[in-house]
Amino acid sequence: MNRTTIFLVTGLLAAAPAAAVAQKASKKLQLHIPTDRNWIFDAEHPACFMLELTSPEAGIAGDLRIDIRTDFGAPVTSGKAAYAFTSDSVAPQSGFRSRANTRADNLGPGFYQAYFIAGTDTLRHIFFGYEPERIVSEPDGKADLKQFWRRTLAELKRVKPEYRAVPLADSSTPERAVYEVQMQSLEGETLRGYWAVPADGGKHPAVVVYQGYGATTWIPGPADYPGWCVLVIPPRGQGLNKPWNRFGEWMSYGLDSPWHYYYRGAFADTVRSIDFVFAQPGFDGRNLFTTGISQGGGLTLVAAALDRRVRAAAPIVPFLGDFPDYFRLVPWPASLVFEGAEKQHVTREAVFSTLSYFDLKNLCRQVECPVLMGFGLQDIITPPHTNFAAYNPIRAPKRWICYPESGHHAAYDNMDVWIAESTRFFREYMAGGQGH
């Protein structure tokens, strides 16, 4: 049985005076927990938290309860730490301070929830991780998985791309020209996106930016990978393509068969976007990188799995990993899928059979390029468990960045840091010494 050990810092948690009322005014308490080790722990660095309670007044004492649960919600352990705010425990800013340390031992690889409760009030609820690279998401890919994707890509290859580009004068600058582009993809679907290319007539690296679920397609600006080619492209039916959406709810379209499922075409679209870049005269022909947020992060990894031309990939909060666990962890997108399955008269067993062809935990075993993954530890849209379901099977050079206090908006909360870090990562793996 797991247990929580509470360590009290000598002298900072004083005994409560006789006049103190246990749990008095717990709603006035505030709890600060420094993000030691970004709240990712391992055998050499146990799951320890320094707790700093502040109160606007003295004479309050009680117990802080610490409940640990798995990310699936199963109870793990519970413990207590006494606190007391005396007249001599003045905080540096204002009010009064009380400190303690708490540690959770005997944890297995995974992500956990910690609840810090005073009386009936939950002061903090955080997620933390323990040895996430040792989490095992059992593969459930079918025997014909590779054949399925070989046939799909062979079908894509027979579709003439018919690339088109319309200059966007208002979005172009003397340094870089911007175009709205079109191309034909699997089943004759038209893809639309924005292409920015340096105006110096030279050859440059390229970044393909895949888009999130239902996101608005944005036009690359001067600050977006300056000096590089940039393609911002949504999958079929989304973003710029939404006026021509024939799929309805993308996540639940065609669940009866992997050959009909929405993401068969959407995954093929990632390869067609790479075809487009390689056909452009401003691209250097070697240094193509992929990145994206959420669904875009998932498509970033899909591109790397299906196309060896990707030199390195940088997904953040990637979507579409480990559907069986994903659907147990959070209600969305499971609600969309099961509602759609019911309308299509598809059983849950058949649903998971179809989804296995698109699950990153199965496809990422084919990734051979370096990967940098970012994730938000507090993410309840694409929980870290699902991110690592995609990350852990990768055998190429890889590393991750944790944003401990961010949720699904980790990229937006830390955009400058993420762009700088991913750009450095791309340059690290750039062929020919080009760094622009």
Q: Is the pLDDT of residue 1 over 80?
A: no
Looking at residue 90, its pLDDT comes to 75
State the Cα–Cα distance between residues 110 and 107, nearest whole angstrom: 8
The Cα–Cα gap between 167 and 337 comes to 39
Taking alpha carbons only, the member of 47, 11, 54 closest to residue 32 is: 54
Q: What is the pLDDT of residues 259-297, one digit of tens each?
A: 999 999 999 999 999 999 999 999 999 999 999 999 999
E strands in 42-175 = 47-55, 60-70, 75-85, 96-105, 110-118, 121-130, 164-167
pLDDT in tens, 363-418: 999 999 999 999 999 999 999 999 999 999 999 999 999 999 999 999 999 999 99
Distances (CA, A) of 32 to 116, 212, 253: 11, 33, 45
Q: What are phi and psi of 49, to 5 degrees?
A: -130, 130
The pLDDT assigned to 434 comes to 54
Helix residue ranges, H only, 158-279: 262-278
Query: Model-level pTM?
Result: 0.93
Token pair recorded at residue 225: 């990978």
Q: In which band, very low, low, confident or very high, does the pLDDT at 21 lie, cut at 50, 70 and 90?
A: very low
**How many Å apart are CA 152 and CA 138, to the nearest integer?**
25
pLDDT bin (cut points 50, 70, 90) of residue 27 is low
Q: Which helix H or strand E contains 229, and what residues bound it?
A: strand 229-233
Residue 214: count other Cβ atoms within 10 Å of its Cβ.
Answer: 16
Q: How far apart are CA 291 and CA 315, in angstroms?
A: 5
Query: Which residue intervals of 97-189 are DSSP H helices?
Result: 145-157
Domains and CATH numbers, the chain: 3-134 (2.60.40.2550), 145-433 (3.40.50.1820)
Residue 91: pLDDT over 80: no
Distances (CA, A) of 406 to 19, 117, 127, 387: 40, 21, 10, 14
